[in-house]
Amino acid sequence: MTELNLIEATKADLPDAPFEGRHLIGGEWRASAGGATFDRLSPSHGMLVSRSAKGGEAETEAAIDAARAAFDSGVWSRISGKARATLLLRVADLIEANVDRIALLETLESGKPISQSKGEVGGAADLWRYAASLARTMHGDSHNTLGEDMLGVVLKEPIGVVSIITPWNFPFWILSQKLPFALAAGCTCVIKPSEMTPSTTVMMGELLVEAGVPAGVVNIVLGHGQPVGALMASHPEVDMVTFTGSTAVGKAISVAAAGTLKKVALELGGKNPQVIFPDADLDGAADAVTFGVYFNVGQCCNSSSRIIVHEDIAASFVDKVVALSRKVAFGDPLSPNTQVGAIVTSQHQDKIDGYVRDAVAAGADVCLGGAPLSVPGLPGQFYQPTVVRGVTPDMAIAREEVFGPVLSVLTFRTLEEAITLTNDAAYGLSAGVWSENVHTCLEFARRAQAGTVWTNTWMDGYPEMTFGGFKQSGQGREIGPYGLDEFLEVKTVAMRIGRTRANWVSAG
Ligand code: NAD
C-alpha cells in the first residue's frame, strides 16, 4: 500500500504485571466464589493486560442486594444535594490526579491512542463536576394556583437501584456519562463494564472508595453479558437499567427488563451521515469527515461512517479526504504521536474486512485501503484507513454499523434527496450538514431523524447538551439536565389546607 502515516512500535514502559481486578460489593473488594478469572490481552501489544474476577449469579445477586440495602437505608438517597455534590467533586479531583495511570490501562485494554485516553479520562472529570452542579440545583415544581385551600408540589426522587452496563469503546467516558448523574439523583448502582475493558471501571471504584462513597452505594461486578448483565437487566430488585452497547444487546435487555417493567435507557449504534453541499467550506468538511470516520478507529457510535456528498463536487471532495487520510497517524497507541490505534479483537477485524469485501463484490470501488494493516514491531490487529465510493443505499456497508475505519461515499443532487438518504436508516443517532447557507443547515437540522445534528462541525459535545438516539439508536437521554431526569421518579403531593374538604359520604 502506498504512503500512509504509519507509527511503528515505540519504546514504552509497559506495566510489569497484569492489573488484578476484583468485584466491589458492599464496600469490599472480592474475588469470585471458586476463584474464577478472565484475561484481557492488549489488542495492540498482545501482552496480558489484566486478570479479572469472573462474576457469576452469586456475585451479581450480592451486588444487587448491597445496592438495594444501601438505597433503602437512606445513607445516600436521603442526604442533601450538597453532600452528594461534595463527594462528586472529590471524585472529579481524584480523576484528574490519576489521569496517566488510568489512561495507560485504557489504552492497553482498548487499543486507543494514549493521547486520546488521557483526553477522555481527564475530560470525564468535567462530567462529574457538571453532575455535582445538578445535585445541588435540581428541584421539582410547586402549584400555588389550585385554589385557596390547595397547595400542590411535584417532588423529584431517585428512581432507586440502577444497573449500569457499559461497552468497550469508551469505557471510562461512558461510565462517567451515567454514574455521576445516577449518584447526583440519589440512586445506588451496580456496574458491569465490558469484559474486554474492565480495569478502568475498577480504578473508578477505587477512586470512589477513596472519596468516601458509603458502602453499597456503588457496586461493580466484572464478567460477561451472561449471566451478569442479563441478571442485572431482569432482577426484580433493580429499578432501572441503563445500557450503552449494540442495538442487538439493547433489544435483549429490553426483553429481559420487561418482566418487571423496570425503566430502560438505551444508547445504541448509529449509521451517521455527514452531508456536504457544494457551497460548504470544503477543506473544513474534508477534515471533519476524516476525523469523524477514523476517530477511535471508527469504533465509535458517533462515527460518520457515511458521507452524502453533492454529485458536482463528489470526485474532488473524495480526493481531498483520501489525501488527508494518508496523513492521519495510524499505529502504536502508546506513541504520543498516534491518532488512530488498534482494532479491539481479531474477530472484529474480520467483520470489518467482510463489509468491505461484500461492498466490492456488489460493485463498489475501494479508493483507499481496504485491508488489514501491519504495524512493525506490534503483534496486534490494525486496519488501513479505507474509503469506498460507488456505494448504493441498499448495500450493507451503507446501512449497517461497520465499526471500523471505513468511509462509504454516497451522492445526492437535491436537499430533498439528501434528507431522504439521511433518514433511510434504522438508526438515528447523529447527522451533520456542511453548507454556508444557514437556511440549508436549519432545514436539514429540523428534518434529520437524529438525536444530535451538527452543522459545519462534527462531534462537538458538552456536559450541558443532552445526547441520545432516535429510532433504533436508543431511548432516553444522557448528560445535560435530561440525563439527570432519567434517574428520577416524579411524585405529586396534593395538600389540602384547612378542613375544607367536602365529605363524599353524607353525614346524615
Ligand atoms: P455489546 O452490546 O456487545 O456489549 C455491551 C455490554 O453489554 C458489555 O458490557 C457486554 O458484556 C454486555 N452484554 C452482552 N450481552 C448482554 C446481555 N444479554 N445482557 C446484558 N448485558 C449484555 O457492545 P460493545 O461491542 O461492547 O460496544 C459496541 C456497541 O456499542 C456499538 O454498537 C456502538 O455503537 C455502541 N455504542 C453506543 C454508544 C451511544 O452512546 N449510543 C456509545 C458507545 C457505543
pLDDT, one tens digit per residue, over 65-93 is 999 999 999 999 999 999 999 999 999 99
- Residues at CB less than 6 angstroms from ligand 1: 165-170, 174, 192, 194-195, 224-226, 229-230, 233, 244-246, 249, 252-253, 267-270, 301, 401, 429, 469, 474
| pLDDT: which is higher, 147 or 500 | 147
Q: Distance (Å, rounded) from C-alpha 217 to C-alpha 25?
A: 9
pLDDT band at 433 (very low <50, low <70, confident <90, very high): very high
Residue nearest to atom 15 of ligand 1 (CA): 225
How many Å apart are CA 102 and CA 354, to the nearest integer?
A: 34
35: which DSSP letter? Answer: G
Ligand 1 centroid to Cα of residue 414, in Å, is 36
CA 309/CA 208 separation, integer angstroms: 47
Q: For a substitution probing ligand 1, which of 170, 246, 304 has the most ligand atoms within 8 Å of its CB?
A: 246
Contact 167, 195 (CB under 8 A): no
- CA dist 281 and 272 (Å) reads 20
Pocket test for ligand 1, best of 120, 164, 165 (most atoms within 8 A of CB): 165
Residues 6+ apart with CB under 8 A from 109: 40, 42, 49, 50, 168, 171, 196, 197, 198, 199, 200
77 C-alpha to center of ligand 1: Å? 28
**Whether pLDDT at 1 is above 70:** no
Q: Annotated catalytic residue: which of 59, 120, 267, 478?
A: 267
End-to-end Cα spacing for the chain: 97
Q: How does DSSP classify residue 38?
A: E
**Cell output for 300:** 465509535
Residue 239, all three cell numbers: 429499578
Cα atoms found within 13 Å of the Cα of residue 4, Cβ hemisphere only: 21
Looking at residue 79, its pLDDT comes to 98
Q: How far is CA 392 from the centre of its chain?
A: 29
Catalytic residue among 189, 300, 301, 367: 301
Give the sign of the dihedral formed by CA 149, CA 154, CA 157, CA 163. positive
List, in order of start, the domains of the chain with CATH numbers: 14-268+473-492 (3.40.605.10), 273-455 (3.40.309.10)
Checking if the pLDDT of 206 tops 80, the result is yes
Q: What's the CA gap between 380 and 398, in Å, rounded?
A: 28
Which atom of ligand 1 is the closest one to the Cα of 167? Answer: 26
* Tens digits of residue pLDDT in 255-287: 999 999 999 999 999 999 999 999 999 999 999
Q: What is the rounded CA–CA span in Å between residue 367 and residue 408?
A: 11
The overall average pLDDT reported for the chain is: 97
Q: 285 CA to middle of ligand 1, Å?
A: 30
301 is a catalytic site residue: yes
- Per-residue pLDDT of 455-501, as tens digits, reads 999 999 999 999 999 999 999 999 999 999 999 999 999 999 998 89
Question: How far from chain centre, in Å, is Cα 154?
Answer: 31
Nearest-atom index, ligand 1, CA of 170 = 43
Residue 78: name the closest of 133, 140, 160, 163 by CA. 160
Q: Determine whether 416 is an active site residue.
A: no
Ligand 1, atom 9: closest residue by C-alpha: 194
Residues 110-140 have pLDDT tens digits of 999 999 999 999 999 999 999 999 999 999 9
In this model, does residue 313 exceed pLDDT 70?
yes
Give pLDDT, residue 2: 54
Contact assessment for residue 11 and residue 44, using Cβ atoms and an 8 Å cutoff: no
Q: Of all atoms in ligand 1, which is nearest to the CA of residue 192? A: 9
**CB under 8 Å to 297, separation ≥6 — which residues?**
111, 112, 340, 341, 342, 343, 383, 404, 405
Distance CA 316, CA 367 (A): 13
Query: Which protein residue's CA is at the shortest distance from atom 42 of ligand 1?
Result: 301
Average pLDDT over residues 151-174: 98
Q: Is 319 left (phi over 0), alpha (psi -120 to 50) or beta?
A: alpha
State pLDDT tens for residues 55-65.
999 999 999 99
Closest Cα to atom 23 of ligand 1: 245
Which pLDDT value is given to residue 257?
98
| Ligand 1 atom with the shortest distance to the CA of 233 | 20
Residue 507: what pLDDT? 80
Residue whose CA is closest, atom 19 of ligand 1? 230
Kindly give the distance from the C-alpha atom of residue 268 to the centroid of ligand 1, in angstroms, as a whole number.
7
